[in-house]
Structure 1
Amino acid sequence: LAGFGAWDHVSSLRLKPFRRMQVWDACSEAMIIFEKDDLDDMGYIVENEVIMAALTKQLDAVADRVEVFYGSRAVGYTWPLPSHSCDTSPWVQIELADGRRLQTKLLIGADGHNSVVRKEAEIKNIEHRYDQSAVVATLHLSEATDNNVAWQRFLPTGPIALLPLSDTASSLVWSTSHEHASELLAMDEESFVDSINSAFWSNVNHSDFIDTAGAMFRSAISLLKPSGTAARQLPPSVARVEAGSRARFPLGMGHATQYVQHRLALVGDAAHRVHPLAGQGVNLGFGDIACLAQHLSAAAFSGSDLGSLKHLLKFETERQRHNVSLIAAIDVLKRLYSTRLAPLVLLRTWGLQATNALPPVKVRI
């Protein structure tokens, strides 16, 4: 966003920095805290509509170099052969719904996890649908605070996250079963708010065995590492939900077998889809774009064809190496925290406690 010039617009609209992240298990006392030793921010929470507005403003600012077809829809694509003959176009042909035809040396498919571009290019997509939906909403807190902590709790039905938007408002992302998601959307405001506060505060899923085993392990860690760890904070209390902000969407995992073809590159959700528990979906997409821009800049500097596989394959290799491992790790975490089985709960409790006590490990995460 900064490289394109849109970050200044984001800053002038709305963003909220966070300096601490607290993640904990609803089935035990295990938790992990991420915070910076200096005064720098760990990251920023920015709403989707703010990003869209900022990008639109910046596109208007560079209108002499970029033409945007708002409200247009592509209805057909004609792909060139890798080695075109005199009777075929060397470019991708795009037919719009209004009858216009466009052509490009490189088509970038950034049209979401149901990507039409990917399907038209006959690129296979490995998919798995989680039996979950994410409920999102904008929430108003009971008291004004610095609100610079990102909160996440792993419930047996899925993680719930509270992400700061301002000193008095936060964004909710609650992953849960389809049935429960429907119930949450149908609730009146008071019941919905009560459900959120209970999800963050209730210890109904605790067991004496897990709590005792966790306490013993924590004591052992404190003996080995007397310096201790960051103190637990209590999450804020939610007072009300912003009218009309509640929504839901189904969750799944997906990964395209190819990111590129001759004169084609896929980025963002068109190339990969992840569970929101790590909050990395949009960041993966931004990473794709930054990487692709870097390789295209190198190609342009050398006078090479932007749609050549020579450059596109470098982008694909770099991003797949990064994305596949992260997608797999997120999927493992999702499955590990979706069970109440005592052995697995104990395993993840000890693992989370040990990780929290080892700063070098947390830094790598």
Structure 2
Amino acid sequence: MGVQYLSWDYNQMGVVATLNLSEPMNNVVAWQRFLPTGPVALLPLTDELSSLVWSTSIEHAKELLSISNESFVDALNDALWKKCPRDKIIDVATQRLDNLLESVFETSNAVRQLHPSISGVVEGSRAAFPLGFGHATCYVGKGVALVGDAAHRVHPLAGQGVNLGFGDVKCLSELLCEAVFNGSSLGNMSHLMKYETLRQRHNLPTMLATEGLQKLYGTTLTPVVVLRSLGLQLTHVLSPVKKMIMNYAAA
């Protein structure tokens, strides 16, 4: 297509696998924990299975692929449950923020739900792929349209890659149906250009927000970590803001 593609690598890999949970549960919640090497996420599949996306260094990813299933499960449970050392200043600051927010906002007294433990890995499901950012400056050409990863790549930490791809497919299929209904050809450029405009208006803000989160969670500077914690805590207690973010991410 001769389209310019802007991209850069994160020097990380995403380790993926299908996991067996230690016991059946109402598995409907996606979990993510941010580790010094990158986030590890569990995405529900069934009451007994979850999908893993573990973002980590290239060296660590290769190590995780080379070890036995039993050692992999041990390493994963350790990553999910172990308490990482934290700066005392950060601990004090976040605790004070918690106390302040509890005094200003009504907070839930519900018992904190814990993420599941992992008992095994589905044989042959472990793999890894390089992580990076990418965006095509144009999505369409004569008789062709780019969707999903062909048009854009984002870090998996926000779980938005597949949502953006589904949005592309939905938008393009609706516009192609509209073209046929109006008696135009499937390759009609006016409909394809409308697809490009609509999707870039949605995709670019989401991609830039994800990129910002990647940079925000990639630093250990104390002032940034404290501000990051404040932002998360405020988002959690401000239900309208949280709902707005969730609705946009699911669009």
The TM-score, its normalising length taken from structure 2, stands at: 0.92
- Which consecutive unaligned segments of at least 5 residues does structure 1 have? 1-120
Structure 1 ranges of 4+ moved more than 6 A:
none
Give how far 1:342 is off: 1.3
Match in the other structure for 1:108 = none
- The number of aligned residues is 245
Aligned pairs (5 A) from 1:44-59:
none
Question: Counterpart of 1:253 in structure 2: which amino acid?
Answer: F
Within 2, Cα distance between the matches of 1:339 and 1:126?
Answer: 24
CA distance in 2, matches of 1:331, 1:235: 26
Structure 2 unmatched runs, 5+: 246-251
Counterpart for residue 255 of structure 1? 135
2:179, 2:188 within 8 Å by CA — same for their partners in 1? no
Partner of 1:293: 173
- Residue aligned with 2:229, SS: helix
Please tell me whether the aligned partners of residues 164 and 171 of structure 1 are also in contact (alpha carbons under 8 angstroms).
Answer: yes
Once residues 338 and 134 of structure 1 are traced to their aligned partners in structure 2, the CA distance between those partners, rounded to angstroms, is 15
> Counterparts in 2 of 1:180-329, with a 5 A limit?
180-228=60-108, 231-329=111-209
Partner of 1:345: 225
Give, in angstroms, the shift of residue 202 of structure 1.
1.4
Instruction: Judge which range, 220-229 or 324-333, deviates more.
Output: 220-229
1:104 equivalent in structure 2: none
What is the one-letter code of the residue matched to 2:187? G
- 1:237-295 Cα distance to aligned partner (Å, 9 max, x none): 11222222211111111100101123221111111111111222222112111111222
In 2: Cα distance, 1:306 partner to 1:180 partner: 46
Deviation (angstroms), 1:227: 4.0
2:104 maps to a residue whose letter is L
What is the alpha-carbon distance in structure 1 between the residues aligned to residue 110 and residue 136 of structure 2?
40
Task: Name the structure 1 match of 2:40.
Answer: 160
> Residue 54 of structure 2 aligns with which residue?
174
The yes-or-no answer on 1:145 pairing with 2:25 is: yes
For the residues of structure 1 that align with 2:87 and 2:23, how far apart are their CA atoms? 32
Larger radius of gyration: 1
Code of the residue aligned with 2:233 in structure 1: it is Q
Q: In structure 1, what residue type is equivalent to 2:235? A: T
| Letter of the 1:261 counterpart | G
Q: Secondary structure at the match of 1:154?
A: strand
